[in-house]
Structure 1
């Protein structure tokens, strides 16, 4: 059941034994190198509802498709705390030899280490690959098991030859736990999410905006419609392989135009469609009966998560319509409360997406590096909070709406 491990059970027991009142031979901490070696039901039993990115289906599709693999700088290293043969806590994680695909940028820290002769890689990343979506990162059956796993992490890092641990896009529960543990440093970020405040339709949303912004959005949508483009939504099980080929071609093209290779493989999309079609939503933009663009999203709980987009030809304002307005329409129609359209954002801000503070946590073994990063994060924190406050002042809502 445990599959390949980067550490044998014996060192893991030593780690836990140092934390417990007395050695506990029935409790172990080990790392799982292939998610396929753990039954989906065992993993998913610890995943909260409404978290499609943490599901066995999503993360195993990343691994089985080769989108995350040792040869591209990612090696699965999921930490598992087991008691009496039963999994009690999980930390989805990856051993990494670079910092790409994370959306919490620590390249500067790595470059500083290189100049100082300090090994920054490999490091441990607790995250969903290529997915800047906040949510639980520590999956537990009970709080005590999760706390024990977190306590064991520093010694695990040392024994496993890792420079530190980085847990990205955390939820408030983990924020609270890590804030109480020594050595962990909090880093803030800012994203932009759209909130559905019970709108009856898109016009109802537009009515909450200032006159100028309302006219601008209406004009943008009219410009797309005026090019003869319409839209059709699909669930994951409603697309055939030729359509998935098109989805991938559009996705890959967003990287090709920047001279980069895509993170995800074509097989990843087919595996998603096979393993979790109920969570997938794809909107196709069509002109004269031919697909010209697409946006792929996931649904989880009360939220819509926009993930991948692409087009094969340039059309005026098509990006805004496909990635934002179509998703807002969908969220309203389905009664979803939140639309997270991905990272980055001033172009979202002026369309009603509100600033949201995100958090990540970092534990570095090298004391000098830890001190330097802590000083940097204090300064960065002030800038992020000021940026979010300034962004809120630029929202397009009428002031009497309370925004």
Structure 2
């Protein structure tokens, strides 16, 4: 039995890696993570150095923990920059650190993959890996509940809560069926927003991955990159990533493109599995009133209803989602900080923060637009 470091996902067959993943969620599949690496979206140069961990028994991988050595905290959506700044002021090193997460995507799900017993042994070996690699901390972001009992019993790991907003489809017949569950005022607001977009002559067409041409992918990437450039930032993903993903897992890709009089304006890129619609990236080249809400939310909600998907995960942050029916959902991340003083200070902070996050999740439900209760 041994812990093995994998610095290129291409060095393990896709069939072996995917056999360890617990469900259809696309973000941990070999095709997705390897496309990030081969496209240069994650690399030493980008500050995301692949360092996946495998637990090998009898010559075969029995468990895995995808991960990256990080020289910064960008693209993670669990914000620890304050901890890094405190270390800098105290003259302590914070980077490099090790992170298990889906790069650039705050989606909750499995992190520790494979057989339960082997996965537990891998997790117990992780602190030794940090010591050997001179990594100052480990972070497991947006993990599923499977990891909770394993990590909770080890006092070195600290729990951090977050709050996202997800929309749930209990089996609506159509969008009007959803609107009928809202208060009159909120129902009128959503209708007005959709009518404003339609009144400007904007139309929408849905595509699966295999249906998109390279010219359309150029447009999609231009829109995606523009959301960063208008804020003076560089996009995380490269253009090549989208082509590789379209080639390797096209069935999971959904893109809606907005146009007006034959001229393309905006797009929203999403992924799907058997039960969930994952809204990921959006961008526009021209601004139209309420175009963002229609493209990113209402189109996705309609798609989920039409295709029987039970949940719409629209990503991080965004309290504006509440009045459109997206409910607060708590997320979990775990942090192992090797310096005792930093560990103790962060533990005190997280104890207070967890109380605040839980209170906010309760308070946020008061902003939901449903008449009596959420569906």
Note the C-alpha offset of 1:181.
Answer: 2.1
Note the C-alpha offset of 1:49.
Answer: 2.0
Measure, in 2, the Cα distance between the counterparts of 1:223 and 1:316.
Answer: 7
Aligned to 2:232: 259
Give the one of 61, 65, 79 matched to 1:91: 65
Measure, in 2, the Cα distance between the counterparts of 1:48 and 1:230.
Answer: 38
* 3-state secondary structure, aligned to 1:192: strand
Measure, in 1, the Cα distance between the counterparts of 2:101 and 2:32.
Answer: 13
Aligned to 2:34: 60
Give the one of 195, 208, 218 matched to 2:181: 208
Note the C-alpha offset of 1:178.
Answer: 1.0
Aligned to 1:138: 112
Give the one of 8, 21, 35 matched to 1:47: 21
Aligned to 2:89: 115
Note the C-alpha offset of 1:402.
Answer: 5.2
Give the one of 36, 44, 49 matched to 1:75: 49
Aligned to 2:148: 175
After superposition, give the CA deviation of every residue in 1:260-312 in whole Å (9 maximum; x if it has no partner): 11000000000010010000000000100121100000001200000000000
After superposition, give the CA deviation of every residue in 1:85-125 in whole Å (9 maximum; x if it has no partner): 11001000000000000000000000001111111100000
Aligned to 1:383: 356
State the structure with more CA Rg: 1
* 3-state secondary structure, aligned to 2:315: coil
Give the one of 325, 329, 335 matched to 1:352: 325
Measure, in 2, the Cα distance between the counterparts of 1:31 and 1:77.
Answer: 6
Give the one of 287, 303, 322 matched to 1:314: 287
Q: Is the Cα contact below 8 Å between 1:202 and 1:332 reproduced in 2? A: yes
Note the C-alpha offset of 1:176.
Answer: 2.1
Give the one of 260, 281, 284 matched to 1:287: 260
Measure, in 1, the Cα distance between the counterparts of 2:319 and 2:96.
Answer: 34
Q: Is the Cα contact below 8 Å between 1:74 and 1:94 reproduced in 2? A: yes
Stretch deviating more after TM superposition (380-389 or 92-101): 380-389
* 3-state secondary structure, aligned to 2:317: coil
Stretch deviating more after TM superposition (249-258 or 379-388): 379-388
Normalised to the residue count of structure 1, the TM-score between the two structures is: 0.92
Measure, in 1, the Cα distance between the counterparts of 2:36 and 2:374.
Answer: 42
Q: Is the Cα contact below 8 Å between 1:30 and 1:80 reproduced in 2? A: yes
Measure, in 1, the Cα distance between the counterparts of 2:277 and 2:120.
Answer: 31
After superposition, give the CA deviation of every residue in 1:111-157 in whole Å (9 maximum; x if it has no partner): 001111111100000001001000000001x2110110111111111
Measure, in 2, the Cα distance between the counterparts of 1:243 and 1:402.
Answer: 38
Q: Is the Cα contact below 8 Å between 1:50 and 1:302 reproduced in 2? A: no
Q: Is 2:75 the counterpart of 1:101? A: yes
Runs of 4+ residues deviating >4 angstroms: none
Measure, in 2, the Cα distance between the counterparts of 1:252 and 1:284.
Answer: 15
* 3-state secondary structure, aligned to 1:306: strand
Aligned to 1:240: 213
Give the one of 162, 165, 187 matched to 2:138: 165
Aligned to 1:6: none
**For residues 44 and 402 of structure 1, do their structure 2 counterparts lie closer, same or farther at Cα, with a shift above 3 Å needed?**
closer
Give the one of 313, 327, 336 matched to 1:340: 313
Aligned to 1:270: 243
Query: What residue ranges of structure 2 are gaps of 5+ in the alignment?
Result: none
Q: Is the Cα contact below 8 Å between 1:250 and 1:293 reproduced in 2? A: yes
* 3-state secondary structure, aligned to 1:169: strand
Measure, in 2, the Cα distance between the counterparts of 1:169 and 1:346.
Answer: 19
Note the C-alpha offset of 1:204.
Answer: 0.3
